[in-house]
Structures are given as structure tokens and as C-alpha cells.
Amino acid sequence: MRRVRPLWWLAGLLAVIAAGVAGLAFGPVPLPPLAVAAELLDQIPGVRLESGLDEREAAVLLRLRLPRVALGLLAGAMLALAGAAYQGVFRNPLADPYLLGVAAGAGLAATAVIALNAPRVLLPSAAFAGALAAIALTYLLGGAGGRERSPAALILSGVAVAAFLQAGQVWLMQRYADDLREIYSWLFGRLATGGWSDVRLLLPYALITAVVVLLHRRELDVLTLGDEEAAGLGLHPRRSRLILIAAASLGTAAAVSVSGLIGFVGVIVPHTVRLLAGASYRAILPLSMLFGAAFLTSADLIARTAAAPAEVPIGVITALFGAPFFVLVLRTHRPVTL
């Protein structure tokens, strides 16, 4: 594995900073970037700076944009990290965070909350529970009949579980057609937040996911050699694969629960990092987090400015980038036998 140039780490950090500053400064109410920086520094205890922002502009920055940008950075990092982990576990560059039915489980639960007029405060927790239930069902189905839970078996189980749950979601949408607008708003993804509650909800799961996956980054490199070679090197492939799938799915479920269904981040970012920075997961995983955070925050900026004052669903923006990229990967990658 070739060593990653420091330039890529610097590029990742600069991408996060640039996306964050742009997300804070630009929008229906434009704010000077230097004034934004001064206002943020003024919030640090012991630091006193005059930003020049009036009370309304400061409220837009601190109460609306800052938590939204923080949520975008966290959700983007989680989706990209999970995508990179799935691609390593399944040895497939087209694997993404929704592979095991995460999206279908979260979508069904969120649709049920909206359709049944349950309190909207339950939406993130219901989507989170639905995503985890779908993952558990996929895992149980993958080992049904006493067969080994191989990557291929888990993929096929995820497809079956997703199809079943999506059928239930369509039934609910037809039965409660009056709520279709709000259901579609969630299904196409959104980062709109009224404060820091969604960030606080996602943060602990993001930390757990990042720590567990990054601690197993060397094992992902070994898994790419195949199970027999990995076992010969002293690795327990099934145990490592289970830990990585569980951690990546946990992070995905948490991100989906607060941001809705945002596709393609887990395909575009890790594959691009792999092409540019090399095939070692010691670099792919942390770089995917950085560029994933920058990518989703930038996509959210486009979503809320392209048709201002209206807001385009962020899932539409990521799909505009992701669909052509998916076709490109499909045409150029060499298939891997599981």
C-alpha cells in the first residue's frame, strides 16, 4: 500500500473548512465571510470581537445556519464512512450505506409516523428504530437455514428485506394520500433543523461509529485479500465483518433518522477517494469522512440557494451528481467474486 501524500489530508481539511464557511455565509440572506468568522470567534469565552452583524443576521447565523452546517458535516461524514466500510467488507465499489435495508426500514417507520399523525418529535427516533430493525432482519435472514452469513448472502437478504419494507411503505402512502407532501419531503432528504437537537441526537452515534470503524481500518485492508488469506494472517473474518457492518449501519441509521434519505454520498465519496489517494483503508476511511462532510454540506448549500426562496430536496442534488457517477463506476470497475 502506497503512503498517502500529506497533500490529500490538507485538501480534505480545506474542503471541510471551505464548505463550512460557504454554508454559513451564503443563502437567501448573504453574510460577509469575515463577519461570520468574527461572530463565531466572539462566541468563544474570553474572546471579544465586533463582527458588524446586526441582531437579525447574528440570529440567522447562530440559530439556523450553524446547527444546519454542523448537521450536514456530521451526516455527510457518517454516510461516506459507512459507504467506505461497506465497500471494503463486501469488496464491491458499488456498495453503499443503504445496502442492507437501512433506507427502507427508516422510510417505513418515518412514513408511519407522518401518516398516523403521531407527534413529529418521534420522527427521528422512529426512523432510527426502523433502520436498526431492518438491519437486524437482514442479518437474521442472511443466516437462515443454517448457511454462513457470507457477503453475498447478506446482500441478497438486504435486497429482499428492502423490497418487503418498501411494499409496506407504498401501501401506507396510498392509504394516507393526504400526507404525501410531507412524506416525500422526508424521503428526498433534508437538513432543515430548528436548533441543535438533531446534532445532539446524531453526535454520540457518530462518535461510536467513527471510533469502531477507524480502529478496524487495518482489518479492512486484510479483508480485501479474501477470507482464506485473512484467516491465514490471524484475522477472524466473520467477526471483523460483523463488527464493521454493525458499526457502519449504526452510523447510517443515526444519520438517516435526522436527515432523511440522502443517496449516493456513500458511493461517490469513498470511490473518488480510492481513485485519487490509493486503495488502503487506513487512508480511505478518514479521508472519506472529511470529503463526505464537505460534499453533503456543499450539496445542501446548492439545495437551499438554487431556487431560493424555495428549497430543493437535498436528495435531488446528490442524485444529480450520483447517478452519472454510478454509471461511470459500473462501466469501469472490475467485478469481484465474493
The answer to whether the CB of 135 falls within 8 A of the CB of 100 is yes
pLDDT of 206 strictly over 90: yes
The answer to whether the CB of 77 falls within 8 A of the CB of 292 is yes
Tens of pLDDT, residues 5-56: 788 899 999 999 999 999 999 988 889 989 998 998 888 888 888 888 888 9
pLDDT of 143 strictly over 80: no
**Enclosing H/E stretch for 120:** none
Whole-number pLDDT of residue 79:
95
The answer to whether the CB of 242 falls within 8 A of the CB of 113 is no
Mean pLDDT, all residues of the chain: 86
Q: Tell me the longest C-alpha to C-alpha distance in the chain.
A: 68
Higher pLDDT, 158 or 213: 213
Residue 262, SS3 per DSSP: coil
Beta strands in the chain (DSSP E): none
Q: How confident is the model at residue 330 (pLDDT cuts 50, 70, 90)?
A: low
Q: How confident is the model at residue 334 (pLDDT cuts 50, 70, 90)?
A: low
The answer to whether the CB of 237 falls within 8 A of the CB of 220 is no
Whole-number pLDDT of residue 285:
95
The answer to whether the CB of 83 falls within 8 A of the CB of 301 is no
Whole-number pLDDT of residue 299:
95
Cβ-based neighbours of 3, under 8 Å, separated by 6 or more:
none
Domains annotated for the chain, with CATH where assigned, are: 6-332 (1.10.3470.10)
pLDDT of 145 strictly over 70: no
d(Cα 100, Cα 92) in Å, to the nearest integer? 14
Whole-number pLDDT of residue 164:
93
Write down the pTM of the prediction. Answer: 0.89
Torsion sign over Cα 286, 292, 295, 297: negative
CA-CA-CA-CA torsion for 316, 328, 105, 191, nearest 10 degrees?
Answer: -30
Q: How confident is the model at residue 318 (pLDDT cuts 50, 70, 90)?
A: very high
Range list of H helices, 216-337: 217-223, 227-232, 237-259, 265-277, 281-305, 314-332
The answer to whether the CB of 251 falls within 8 A of the CB of 269 is no
Least confident of 75-84, 117-126, 167-176, 224-233: 224-233
The answer to whether the CB of 189 falls within 8 A of the CB of 304 is no
The answer to whether the CB of 256 falls within 8 A of the CB of 195 is no
Torsion sign over Cα 263, 267, 272, 273: positive
Please calculate the CA angle 314-188-15 and round it to the nearest 5 degrees.
Answer: 25
**Enclosing H/E stretch for 103:** helix 102-115
Whole-number pLDDT of residue 208:
94
Tens of pLDDT, residues 217-251: 999 988 887 777 877 777 888 889 889 988 998 89
**Enclosing H/E stretch for 26:** none
42: which 3 cell numbers? 466572539
Whole-number pLDDT of residue 336:
45
